[in-house]
Structures are given as structure tokens and as C-alpha cells.
């Protein structure tokens, strides 16, 4: 089954404790991207990647890092999380430009 | 500043009628637009897209119209079904220059029997 898998689905953590949200797709897609969803703000793109070792900033990249060492994986790294990064995060992939397949989301709470 | 705006937070439509969701943008460099649907506790689902070289694109019950002079696009759902009840997001990109994608804040559509 074609899917985008995010882990963990839920996480409560504390300010400053590094965390990584993993994203994996099994469709051999070139494009992958990360988004956050916040009430009243809709979806906002954090980072995107057009291929292995090719990443670029989206609309709200501050406080986040990504890496794309393999085509199937695109982890989102919060080196020093802060409460304003409490949000619902989505990873997406597609064969070409324009996200088409999204994961089910990761709800992060940073205290 | 909000470059992509969905000014109606919610919309209620009777089953079988047309649903029209609107989206306005301010950046004249935007040349590619997408619509997504989102149910609670799920990731967004891609619905339909349109390039600025077109003014209409159709896929089954979904049609997107683009008015470049007014910087306005709309998604028409005909006929509306209860399963269409969800939050709808439009998104835009200046694709010729960047792959960055800007979303609107969403419109909650409720289709009632």
C-alpha cells in the first residue's frame, strides 16, 4: 500500500530537548516536504526537498532542520524545541512538484 | 502578510447543490495553484490543480476556475455530498522561480442532507 509514514504520532517534550520526527515514503517519490498546521494560520510549508541531498526553505523554516540522505526518508529535526513549535506536523511526498500524498500527522507539544 | 487568503472560514451547503469555495492571492508571480481537502485526524488530500496558462480545470465533480486579472480562484463541487464535509485549503506557488508553496487558512465546508 502506498503510504507516507510519520513517527511519532504524538509527542510531549520539554523546551531545549532535541527531537526528530521521521518521515518515510514507499512510492519512490522525488519530492518530499514538511508542513505545520496551526489554528487560524492554516498549513505552512517548513522545508521541501526535490531529490536526495537537495533541500530548500519553505515559508517558516526557522528553528527546524531537515536532511535527505535517501530518497525514501525526510526527517524533521528540532535542535532546540521551543513552545512556539507546538503544532500539528505533516510530511508529504509526490512524484513531481506539488505535494500529493500526506502522512497522518504528528502532534508535538513542547512545554 | 497573508499572500493567499480564504476569506470565508466556513460554508454550509445542502446536499446535491453546488459548493463554491473561494481563494484570493496577492502575489502576481504565483503561477500554479492547488486545492486540498482535510478531514479531522487525517493528512490533507490533494484534489485538483491549475496552471496560470489555463482558466479552468475539471476533474469529476471538482472544477477549479482561475481569474488572473482578479487574482482569484474558486473550487466548485457539483453535486455536493455529505462526504465532502471537510476543511478545504488552497495553495499557490511561483513555480517558475521556486518550489515554495503558500497555503490559505482554509474553509470548513459542511454539506447537510
Buried b (16+ CB within 10 A) or exposed e, A87-98: bbbbbbbbeebb
Distance CA A84, CA A77 (A): 15
pLDDT tens-digit series, residues A59-104:
999 999 999 999 999 999 999 999 999 999 999 999 887 888 999 9
| Contact B1/A at CB under 8 A | no
pLDDT of residue B26: 96
Rounded to an integer, the average pLDDT of B72-91 is 97
| Contact B2/A at CB under 8 A | no
- Residue B97 scores a pLDDT above 70: no
pLDDT of residue A1: 82
Pairing of strands A106-110, A10-13: parallel
Cβ of A98 and B34 within 8 Å?
A: yes
A33: Cβ contacts below 8 Å, ≥ 6 apart: A45, A46, A47, A48, A49, A58, A74, A91, A92, A93, A99, B101
Please say whether the beta carbons of A34 and A91 come within 8 A: yes
Concatenating the DSSP letter of every residue in A37-96 gives EETTTEEEEEEEEEETTEEEE-S--TT-EE--SSTTB--EEESS--GGG-EEEEEEEESS
Say if residue B79 is preceded by a cis peptide, omega within 30 of 0.
yes
Distance CA B103, CA A49 (A): 18
Of A40, A58, A103, the CB nearest to B100: A58
Distance CA B102, CA A107 (A): 21
pLDDT of residue B41: 87
Of B46, B100, B102, the CB nearest to A99: B46
Concatenating the DSSP letter of every residue in B52-111 gives TT-SEEEETTEEEEEETTTTEEEEEESS--GGG-EEEEEEEE-TTT----EE---EEEEE
- Residue A20 scores a pLDDT above 90: yes
Cβ of B44 and A44 within 8 Å?
A: no
| Contact B42/A at CB under 8 A | yes
Amino acid at each position: 500500500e502506498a503510504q507516507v509514514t510519520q513517527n511519532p504520532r504524538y509527542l510531549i517534550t520539554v523546551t531545549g530537548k532535541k527531537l526528530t520526527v521521521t518521515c518515510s515514503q514507499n512510492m519512490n517519490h522525488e519530492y518530499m516536504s514538511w508542513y505545520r498546521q496551526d489554528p487560524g494560520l492554516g498549513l505552512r510549508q517548513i522545508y521541501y526537498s526535490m531529490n536526495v541531498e537537495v533541500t530548500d526553505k519553505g515559508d517558516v523554516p526557522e528553528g527546524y532542520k531537515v536532511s535527505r540522505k535517501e530518497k525514501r526518508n525526510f526527517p524533521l529535526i528540532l535542535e532546540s524545541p521551543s513552545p512556539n513549535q507546538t503544532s500539528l506536523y505533516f510530511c508529504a511526498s509526490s512524484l513531481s512538484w506539488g505535494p500529493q500524498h500526506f502522512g497522518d500527522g504528528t502532534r508535538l507539544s513542547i512545554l | 502578510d497573508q499572500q493567499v487568503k480564504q476569506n470565508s472560514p466556513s460554508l454550509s451547503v445542502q446536499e446535491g447543490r453546488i459548493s463554491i469555495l473561494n481563494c484570493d492571492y496577492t502575489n502576481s508571480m504565483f503561477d500554479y495553484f492547488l486545492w486540498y481537502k482535510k478531514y479531522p485526524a487525517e493528512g490533507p488530500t490533494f484534489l485538483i490543480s491549475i496552471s496560470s496558462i489555463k482558466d479552468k480545470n475539471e476533474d469529476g465533480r471538482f472544477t477549479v476556475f482561475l481569474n488572473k486579472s482578479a487574482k482569484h480562484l474558486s473550487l466548485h463541487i457539483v453535486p455536493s455530498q455529505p462526504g465532502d464535509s471537510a476543511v478545504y485549503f488552497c495553495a499557490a506557488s511561483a513555480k517558475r522561480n521556486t518550489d515554495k508553496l503558500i497555503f490559505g487558512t482554509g474553509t470548513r465546508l459542511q454539506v447537510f442532507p
